[in-house]
């Protein structure tokens, strides 16, 4: 099972085991990671599962779709080039070890 | 007065958010979350969409059990509340226990309406509300070929859109002259009608079902319409709207009309009892009209408002309503309430997208979009700002909201 690490704004790290096929958002909720709200459950309606993908992982997680980009524009925290909605990153074996950073706020 | 114990009745999105927000806002007392369903609180929107395909209930949990432990939220599943004593400040459960409260939150939701149709008790007449309903529907679909959907609202049309992928044909029978007539404009109804017909769904508008037909062995075999036409089907999905679960409140003497009446702080007529979500009606901050909404957004934003009040920072409810419905490859998004609108303008904001702007006395009140997330999010922001966005101003930018927002 791929392992994912979430880094909170204060530097705390939480590592969870994830199932391939799930999204990074689902893995965060299942792993009880604080800082992912996921209000709409992955319907791309809310921008409350915002993460910053660690620079070295960005090429592997791909780029946001137009719809995701539009939602990110309304995220509660600063949007950076590595910003993604974690519900839109599908977990593959290739993402084993992925690190994402959590923003200051989701709402 | 410090609250020692908050009891929440109902473990849906709103009930869960109530518990989570109280902890996030620093409430240190006891939190009891009472639900008549088994298991952990779960997401409902996927029940009419992705869940029917994957059938994996564990993926629906809003949070794992560890969350409830870590936040000392006492979950009481499979517990039905049978009465409220507002003077004694306690509730009674189905097994005869009484549970005291300092504050009670009613998050009892709604249940499916049973339309006046004969033979609703036949086998394979199903509805879609909770996980048990969705699991049963999913199981029965494996042996079915043709599903009749009674009601062309969100749930009925979301189901119709996934039906072909589940190996069944769907016929939708809707009493109104257009689809989703309670929620969207004529233009949007027409857009979805065309798409559904393209996906192979048969849609009968302006038709009422008078009775369901018996195959002779107690199974449903189809439906008879009011004009005498018979349509065959081996499953009938009743998706004809909901009724708010407000009986407990009414029996306790709380003010109830279309659901439980609450004020702009989501407080009922009893200062020790709040209500949220589908089961309550509240003053819409924009129009002042009393509304009752059936959406995840209303339930969770109501919960946040109540939590702020209970933790000593009361702020009147002011959230802009938003809704979504995924049907086939179309994503319908709605910001604001179009019910009081007297004028609608349709335009195409970007390639393939559609937006319908609705105005009340010349003021923008609601925006429906398909496949235009930027227009939707801009609408949410503009409506939340309190700014009066007028029709002439928007006409000057060809009704392109994104352009308008950029310029102001």
The C-alpha atoms of residue B142 and residue B43 are separated, in whole angstroms, by 23
Q: Residue A7's CB: how many other CB atoms inside 10 A?
A: 18
Q: Does the beta-carbon distance from A70 to B300 stay under 8 Å?
A: no
- Convert the pLDDT of each residue in A63-95 to its tens digit: 999 889 999 988 999 999 999 999 999 999 999
What number is the ipTM of this complex? 0.92
The C-alpha atoms of residue B190 and residue B1 are separated, in whole angstroms, by 55
Q: List per-residue pLDDT tens for chain B, 408 residues long.
A: 689 999 999 999 999 999 999 999 999 999 999 999 999 999 999 999 999 999 999 889 999 999 999 999 999 999 999 999 999 999 999 999 999 999 999 999 999 999 999 999 999 999 999 999 999 999 999 999 999 999 999 999 999 999 999 999 999 999 999 999 999 999 999 999 999 999 999 999 999 999 999 999 999 999 999 999 999 999 999 999 999 999 999 999 999 999 999 999 999 999 999 999 999 999 999 888 999 999 999 999 999 999 999 999 999 999 999 999 999 999 999 999 998 899 999 999 877 789 999 999 999 999 999 989 999 999 999 999 999 999 999 999 999 999 999 998
Are B383 and B336 within 8 A, CB to CB? yes
Is B67 an 8 Å CB contact of chain A? yes
Q: Does the beta-carbon distance from B373 to A70 stay under 8 Å?
A: yes
Q: How far is B351 from chain A (nearest CA, A)?
A: 12
Name every chain B residue with its beta carbon within 8 A of the beta carbon of A17.
none
The C-alpha atoms of residue A22 and residue A8 are separated, in whole angstroms, by 21
Domain boundaries, given as residue ranges, for chain B: 5-111+243-310, 114-240, 329-407
Q: Does the beta-carbon distance from B333 to A67 stay under 8 Å?
A: no
Q: How many CB pairs under 8 A join A and B?
A: 49
Is B51 an 8 Å CB contact of chain A? no
Q: Which of A22, A40, A74 sits opposite B377 (nearest CB)?
A: A74
Name every chain B residue with its beta carbon within 8 A of the beta carbon of A45.
322, 324, 333
Nearest CA in chain A to B66: A32
Q: Does the beta-carbon distance from B64 to A32 stay under 8 Å?
A: yes
Name every chain B residue with its beta carbon within 8 A of the beta carbon of A50.
none
pLDDT value, residue B1: 60
Estimate to the nearest angstrom the gap between the alpha carbon of B325 and the chain centroid.
10
CATH class of domain segment(s) B5-111+243-310? alpha beta
pLDDT value, residue B2: 82
Is A44 an 8 Å CB contact of chain B? yes
Q: How far is B222 from chain A (nearest CA, A)?
A: 34
Is A105 an 8 Å CB contact of chain B? no
Is B333 an 8 Å CB contact of chain A? yes
Find which of B49, B277, B373 to mutate to test the A interface (most A CBs within 10 Å of its CB). Answer: B373
Is B61 an 8 Å CB contact of chain A? yes
Q: Which of residues 51-70 of A touch B (CB under 8 A)?
A: 66-68, 70
The C-alpha atoms of residue B182 and residue B384 are separated, in whole angstroms, by 23
Estimate to the nearest angstrom the gap between the alpha carbon of B288 and the chain centroid.
21
CATH class of domain segment(s) B114-240? alpha beta
pLDDT value, residue B286: 87
Name every chain B residue with its beta carbon within 8 A of the beta carbon of A44.
331, 373
Q: Which of residues 355-384 of B touch A (CB under 8 A)?
A: 371, 373-374, 376-377, 380-381
CA separation, residue B355 to residues A74, B107, B197, B236, B345 (Å): 19, 33, 21, 33, 8
Name every chain A residue with its beta carbon within 8 A of the beta carbon of B300.
39
Name every chain A residue with its beta carbon within 8 A of the beta carbon of B296.
39-41
Among B295, B307, B323, residue whose Cα is nearest residue B266: B307
The C-alpha atoms of residue B292 and residue B183 are separated, in whole angstroms, by 13
Exposure on the CB side of residue B73, measured as CA atoms within 13 A:
28
Name every chain A residue with its beta carbon within 8 A of the beta carbon of B324.
40, 43, 45
User: String of b and e for B300-331 (b: at least 16 CB within 10 Å)?
Assistant: bbbbbbbbbbbbeeeeebebbbbbbbbbbebb
CA separation, residue B6 to residues B69, B72, B91, B263 (Å): 17, 12, 12, 19
Partners of B149 in beta bridges: B172, B237
Q: What domains appear along chain A, each with residue ranges and CATH number?
A: 3-101 (3.10.20.30)
**Fold held by B329-407:** Enolase-like; domain 1 (3.30.390)
Domain B5-111+243-310 identical in fold to domain B329-407: no
User: String of b and e for B245-272 (b: at least 16 CB within 10 Å)?
Assistant: bbebbeebebebeebbbbebebbbbbee
């Amino acid at each position: 099972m791929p392992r994912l690490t979430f880094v909170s704004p204060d530097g705390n790290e939480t590592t969870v085991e994830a199932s391939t096929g799930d999204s990074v958002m689902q893995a965060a909720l299942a792993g009880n990671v604080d800082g992912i709200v996921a209000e709409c459950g992955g319907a791309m309606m809310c921008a409350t599962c915002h993460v910053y993908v660690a620079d070295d992982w960005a090429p592997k997680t791909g780029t946001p779709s137009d719809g995701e980009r539009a939602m990110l524009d309304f995220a509660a925290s600063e949007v950076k080039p590595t910003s993604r909605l974690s519900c839109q990153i599908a977990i593959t074996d290739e993402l084993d070890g992925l690190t994402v950073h959590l923003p200051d706020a989701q709402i | 007065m410090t609250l020692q114990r908050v009891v929440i009745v109902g473990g849906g999105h709103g009930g869960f958010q109530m518990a989570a927000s109280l902890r996030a806002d620093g409430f240190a007392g006891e939190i009891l979350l009472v639900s008549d369903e088994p298991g952990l609180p779960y997401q409902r929107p996927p029940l009419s969409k992705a869940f029917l395909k994957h059938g994996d209930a564990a993926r629906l949990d809003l949070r794992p059990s560890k969350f409830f432990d870590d936040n000392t939220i006492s979950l009481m599943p499979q517990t039905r509340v049978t009465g409220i004593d507002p003077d004694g400040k306690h509730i009674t459960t189905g097994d005869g226990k009484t549970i005291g409260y300092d504050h009670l939150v009613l998050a009892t939701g709604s249940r499916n309406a049973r339309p006046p149709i004969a033979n609703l008790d036949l086998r394979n007449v199903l509805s879609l509300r909770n996980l048990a309903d969705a699991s049963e529907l999913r199981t029965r679909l494996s042996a079915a070929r043709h599903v009749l959907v009674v009601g062309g609202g969100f749930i009925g049309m979301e189901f119709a859109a996934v039906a072909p992928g589940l190996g069944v044909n769907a016929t939708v029978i809707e009493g109104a002259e257009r689809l989703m007539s309670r929620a969207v404009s004529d233009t949007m109804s027409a857009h979805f009608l065309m798409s559904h017909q393209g996906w192979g769904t048969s849609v009968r508008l302006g038709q009422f079902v008078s009775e369901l037909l018996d195959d002779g062995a107690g199974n449903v075999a189809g439906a008879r319409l009011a004009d005498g036409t018979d349509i065959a089907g081996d499953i009938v999905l009743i998706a004809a709207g909901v009724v708010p679960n407000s009986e407990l409140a009414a029996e306790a003497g709380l003010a109830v009309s279309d659901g439980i009446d609450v004020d702009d702080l989501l407080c009922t007529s009893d200062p020790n009892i709040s209500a949220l979500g589908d089961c309550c009606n509240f003053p819409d901050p924009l129009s002042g009209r009393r509304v009752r909404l059936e959406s995840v957004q209303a339930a969770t934003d109501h919960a946040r408002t109540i939590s702020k009040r209970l933790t000593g920072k009361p702020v009147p409810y002011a959230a802009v309503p938003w809704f979504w419905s995924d049907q086939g490859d179309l994503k319908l998004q709605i910001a604001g309430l179009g019910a009081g609108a007297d004028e609608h303008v349709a335009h195409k904001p970007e390639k393939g997208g559609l937006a319908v702007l609705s105005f009340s006395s010349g003021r923008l009140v609601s925006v429906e979009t398909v496949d235009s997330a930027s227009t939707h999010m801009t609408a949410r922001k503009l409506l939340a700002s309190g700014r009066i966005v007028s029709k002439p101003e928007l006409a000057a930018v060809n009704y392109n909201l994104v352009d308008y927002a950029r310029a102001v």
